Structure 1
Amino acid sequence: MNFSWLEDFLALAASGNFSRAAEERHMTQPAFSRRVRALEEWLGADLFDRSTQPARLTAAGEWFRPQAEDLLARVGRLPPQARATAEANASTLRLAATHMLSFSFVPRWLQSLEPHAVLGQVRLVSDVLQHCEALLAQRQVQFVIAHGLAGASGGLDAAGARSLAIGSDWLLPLHAPGAPARALLGFSDESGLGRIVRQVLGAELAHAGLQPVFTAHLASVLRSMALDRRGLAWLPQSLVHEDLQAQRLQVSGPAHWRIPVEIRLYRDAAPLGVHAEAFWQAAEKLAAGSRAEPLRVGE
């Protein structure tokens, strides 16, 4: 018996129309009719009275309808239950982090966690925030590390994820000496940093006369373009502190263009399993013991 036959049966039971049900199930009517007949042969009973228009359920069909609904519901619950069971006993930590944080923050932060937790095997996925969010929603990863606007909720917060501030940073408007004053180097829509800039300054920048000349989702790419005197870019201070000290890049614009951000660890609100929960508790302990004043501009 093919479980898709149950969906065919329920589609036909809802309308009694073979053509409409076949279209709903994305197949030709002859193929759909053969599948319904195959289910009836497997059960050993006619489920539909085909002498009427629309077709009506027989007594056996009326009995089978709730059985089919229950079977499909139970089958649908199996994958998440299997994943939850596997996750509860998993020893591999699955993290996703935005590209910049993957190489600039995560290795150092994981090292600082080692005295507080047995990390074991760690699998890190580096991607844009939009894809990291999808991985967490699909439970393909247990945690996401990304920038968030300080003191404000973001997309993952709105989706019900729990978060923990594990670091601080600034998004600074930067340009190289001699760069065009109104040329904007911007983040693409998939970028979490770009999302923050648009949330805080989107309306203002639209009226500030800045002209977008280049877009990318990697902060490192925008940094290279800014150093090449191509325009103004909002970049994390942690990425460009050496450029600031050497005066290869300079802060531009009014003071409120400097955006304080947090580095956050996100997780699903549901239980994650023993190993992942121990990791979360260690991260909470480390964050509580290392809370300090936010990074100052220029540090």
Structure 2
Amino acid sequence: MDIAWLRDFEALVAQKNFSRAAEDRNVSQPAFSRRIRALEEEVGVKLINRQTLPLSLTPAGEVFLPQARIMLRTYQETLERCQIIDAAGENVIRFATSQSLYMTHYKTHIAPLVEKGGLDIDLNSTSWAADQFVSALQQRYCDVILTYWHPSMDFLAPLEMGKCEYLTLSRDDFLPVSRVGADGPIHQLRKGGNKPVSLLSYGTASALRSVVDNTLRQNIDGPKILVVNRNALAISVKAMIMEGFGLGWLPRELCKDELQAGQMQVVGNDAYIEKLEVRLYREKDNRKPTLNTLWDDMKLLVEAQTDRASG
């Protein structure tokens, strides 16, 4: 799909007229019309209703328009990121992490070392699918990924078997929690009652989906579960829990304030609590000097934490 076709489509939506849109795009009307038809052929449906005056979108066109704008925005952001990285050269360390880990671990554990060392960071806090983090590291789209780790996360296996190394930055509990009402937790993770337990879970794009599924498989004698929503982001699952739509699993670090304030409560017994590691991964043969500096600093930090814990 030609990116110019998306810009043509956006111009036609704005102008609602082929002639004005062609003029806006600085091409002849016949050429502009051919490009719109090529876009429709690529998508496989009619996007423009040519029988109305002014022109309007078909139902499929209404669906396609916001996605076209997302693609154009993503394309532009990618160009800008590439130009920034190229201009900065080999001194930039490219990070990739999820929104929840950015909020709970990057800012507190890594950012101080970055500032202390005067390092240049290109931070991609993203909603990528879990396996995209792995491919991004393998293809050198990023230098470091910050991710949760659990034995059930098969998508990380290629890194463990490949040319990668990791540091365990910290450990966290993965807790089943519910919002607290006047009489205690609104949702309980226990047998009893006629209604199944409403679960707010994770979509296939989330690294945490496999941990929830694994936990439920290990507790097959537990209550009946009804998944009422799936989301890619732990932040979004947390928001839904706080609205009272169901219970869900969250890393303790992400909900510690709500637990301490009594707004959330852990439900279920210890069998439903999983242990997570927060890991940094990089390829061993990535010898970018600034990356080596940060990695060595992180090693010292982890060793100091281990010494304090054992002492």
For Structure 1 versus Structure 2, the TM-score category normalised by the shorter chain is: 0.5 to 0.7
Q: Aligned residue for 1:165?
A: 168
Change (3 A) 1:257 1:179: closer
Large movers: runs of 4+ above 6 Å: 150-153
What is the Cα deviation at residue 165 of structure 1?
Answer: 0.6
Change (3 A) 1:248 1:286: same
What is the Cα deviation at residue 282 of structure 1?
Answer: 1.3
Change (3 A) 1:228 1:152: closer
Deviation sequence 1:154-213 (CA, Å, 0-9, x none): 4332444211011221110011222375111111111112233334x1423566311111
State the AA in 2 paired with 1:162: E
Deviation sequence 1:11-42 (CA, Å, 0-9, x none): xxxxxxxxxxxxxxxxxxxxxxxxxxxxxxxx
Distance in 2 (CA, whole Å) between partners of 1:142 and 1:252 is: 38
Assess if the C-alpha contact under 8 Å between 1:98 and 1:132 holds in 2.
no
Distance in 1 (CA, whole Å) between partners of 2:95 and 2:172 is: 21
Q: Aligned residue for 2:207?
A: 192
1:230 match: secondary structure: coil
Q: Aligned residue for 2:257?
A: 242
Q: 2:187 aligns with which of 167, 179, 184?
A: 179
2:292 match: secondary structure: helix
Alignment of 1:80-229 (within 5 A): 90-114=90-114, 118-127=117-126, 128=128, 129-149=130-150, 154-155=156-157, 156-176=159-179, 177-179=185-187, 182-199=197-214, 201-204=215-218, 208=222, 209-229=224-244
Distance in 2 (CA, whole Å) between partners of 1:258 and 1:274 is: 40
Assess if the C-alpha contact under 8 Å between 1:164 and 1:265 holds in 2.
yes
Change (3 A) 1:189 1:207: farther
Assess if the C-alpha contact under 8 Å between 2:114 and 2:120 holds in 1.
no
Determine if the alignment matches structure 1 residue 269 to structure 2 residue 270: no
Assess if the C-alpha contact under 8 Å between 1:145 and 1:263 holds in 2.
yes
Q: Percent identity?
A: 21
Change (3 A) 1:192 1:280: same
State the AA in 2 paired with 1:118: G
2:284 match: secondary structure: coil
Gapped regions of structure 2 (runs ≥ 5): 1-85, 180-184, 190-196
What is the Cα deviation at residue 286 of structure 1?
Answer: 1.2
1:103 match: secondary structure: helix
Assess if the C-alpha contact under 8 Å between 2:167 and 2:299 holds in 1.
yes
Distance in 1 (CA, whole Å) between partners of 2:163 and 2:226 is: 36
Assess if the C-alpha contact under 8 Å between 1:168 and 1:262 holds in 2.
yes
Alignment of 1:61-76 (within 5 A): none
What is the Cα deviation at residue 250 of structure 1?
Answer: 1.1
Assess if the C-alpha contact under 8 Å between 2:137 and 2:283 holds in 1.
yes
Determine if the alignment matches structure 1 residue 290 to structure 2 residue 293: no
State the AA in 1 paired with 2:169: I
Distance in 2 (CA, whole Å) between partners of 1:97 and 1:132 is: 8
Distance in 2 (CA, whole Å) between partners of 1:197 and 1:238 is: 17
**Which TM-score applies when normalising by structure 1?**
0.62
Assess if the C-alpha contact under 8 Å between 2:200 and 2:228 holds in 1.
yes
Deviation sequence 1:195-233 (CA, Å, 0-9, x none): 33334x142356631111100011111111111111110
Q: Aligned residue for 1:32?
A: none
Change (3 A) 1:186 1:137: same
Number of residue-to-residue matches in the alignment: 205
